[in-house]
Amino acid sequence: MAPRFDVKNLYFLCLFIGASLAASYNETLCCRYIHESDYDAFYDFKKRFSKHDPQIKMFHSFAGSGCSMRGVFKLEFGRGDRLLIDMIFEDPQGWVYNLGDSSTNNGYGGDAGTQSNDAEMQLYGTLSGYYSDVKGSQLAFGMANNNNVRATLLAGDHCVTWYNECDPTSLNYFCSKGWFALNDDHDSEGPVNNDLYLGVNRAIGAPELVGKGVCKIGFKWIRGSNTY
């Protein structure tokens, strides 16, 4: 049986989005408003504003402008940490984002043999997730793309939760031992690590796979709460 996602973190996700929604009540477009003070790290690519966190690092430097800025973040998890990733879009197209367990994830569960723990999820046409080599890099989930304005993810050891467009009916979660390995898990191909990578408007390890549409990203840590 796959490990269960800690329900208190589902509540946190709903409450965080709910508070942001209340703050944006008078905005022209619901949920477009997010503020850097809500996050540990925050990037507004249109305004070229950045707020940094020592565990969220630039892995591949960002280039471009506005909502076509492309680059890769390295996300360094402490034991038991979960990370909320909040993204605001405008006209997302192509490879919008790629969240993976390997520094060379290149879409559809591949990473050219860098790590056996190489699960990944991608927004490219559809929202899809692929198991690590532990489960043969098979498709873990796939669904229609409903990310047009905002997507919020909560990632932790062996689990991910996501919530689109401030629509409570869109809340989904997925847990599996073949998913993100963030608890000193053995790796048969590469070094043990507790890191994820986020490709923004591109695939993580394939710079030729590009997209556009991510305009703002906020990151918020939930410390030491990864229990099943």
Could you report the per-residue pLDDT of 112-170, keeping only the tens digit for each? 999 999 999 999 999 999 999 999 999 999 998 877 889 999 999 999 999 887 777 78
Domain that holds residue 84: 7-222
Q: Long-range contacts: 137-144, Cβ < 8 Å, 24+?
A: 137/108, 137/109, 137/110, 138/109, 139/109, 140/174, 140/176, 140/178, 140/179, 141/172, 141/174, 143/172
State the total domains in the chain. Answer: 1
1 found inside a domain: no
Domain-located, residue 2: no
What is the predicted pLDDT for the residue at 193?
Answer: 95
Residue 200's CATH number:
2.60.120
Which residue in 59, 8, 196 sits closest to 118, CA to CA? Answer: 196
Query: If you write DSSP's letter for every residue of 72-92 in order, what string do you get?
Result: EEEEEPPTT-EEEEEEEEEEE
What are the pLDDT digits (tens) for 60-92? 999 999 999 999 999 999 999 999 999 999 999
Residue 186 lies in a domain: yes
168 against 26, higher pLDDT? 168
**Does residue 228 form part of some domain?**
no
